[in-house]
Amino acid sequence: MAGKFPEVQGGGSLILAWQVKGRHVLVVGGGEVAAGRILNLLNADALVTVICPSSGLNPEVRHRVTQKQVAHVDRVFEPTDLELINLPTVPLTTGAPDMVLVAIDDPAASSQIWKLCKKLRIPANIADVPPECDFYFGSVHRDGPLQIMVSTNGKGPRLAAAIRKFIAGQLPKGVGNAIERIGILRAKLREQAPEIEQGPKRMKWMSRVSDSYSWDDMCGLSEEDMINLLTFYADNKVPTIGTLKAMRGGVDSEAIDVFDGAFGFCVGC
């Protein structure tokens, strides 16, 4: 029986897509590493507070501050910063931080912040100090809704970047746009069949749709194509892309003469 189950491979990380939209994240530091962290957070729609003297802000972080994309506390970190609650000078904050990212060139201060976070049970990441990280930042490829992260569990960030570039080079052209179109179709299907008991059928039908069309086909799905495609859901069918194209302009699917590959011959009639 044991041979039928996957072997446990310890030493890994639990890779998750952490939803930080609307969450308050504290970034300590304003250099190049902090700039990368801040961009990742803003891309995930987090509310970001940066604690760093103005003299330590690099051009990118300074731009984020100037454009009011992040809140800025112009001084070094203080322990009470882990209890921030709507400071008048930090209008974007919504309370104590849900996450802390430290990117400063001071190992002793970084470790102290780590210990404070542990005491308050706030998830934290101390740049370049794997033992003092609740989570790691992998090398990420982004194409619209598609995100692929490569992690070496803190052992080889440069190698992770190389592997990420290799994987990105193997992906079909337009894959991000195709995923976007399928996401829109899923939302429309949920509106059409919102009942909880429809869940299994929705999932299986969407899987068949994804398996039936090429990336280019999915990229080319128009609003009209999606509406026509959804008419096949009730019968749990998935039409060919040719059928969908033939239905454009209001043509009913039953009126389409689909060639089935059969030929008839009459010899000597």
Which ranges of the chain have pLDDT less than 50? Answer: 88, 259-269
| Amino acid 265: pLDDT | 46
Rg, Å, the chain Cα set: 26
Residue 123 shares a structural domain with residue 150: no
| Amino acid 1: pLDDT | 55
Where do the H-state alpha helices sit in 171-260? Answer: 175-192, 199-212, 215-219, 223-230, 241-246
Query: pTM of the entire structure?
Result: 0.74
Residue 42 shares a structural domain with residue 120: yes
Question: CATH no. for residue 61?
Answer: 3.40.50.720
Which among 166, 110, 113, 172 is positioned nearest to 146, based on CA atoms? Answer: 172
Active site residue 143: no
| Amino acid 157: pLDDT | 80
SS3 call for 49: strand
Residue 101 shares a structural domain with residue 85: yes
Total domains present in the chain:
3
Tell me which residue range forms the domain holding 158. Answer: 138-171
Residue 108 shares a structural domain with residue 210: no
Q: Is residue 209 part of a domain?
A: yes
Domain boundary among 147, 171, 195: 171
Q: Is residue 256 part of a domain?
A: no
Candidates 98, 128, 134, 143; catalytic one: 128
| Amino acid 179: pLDDT | 92
Residue 179 shares a structural domain with residue 192: yes
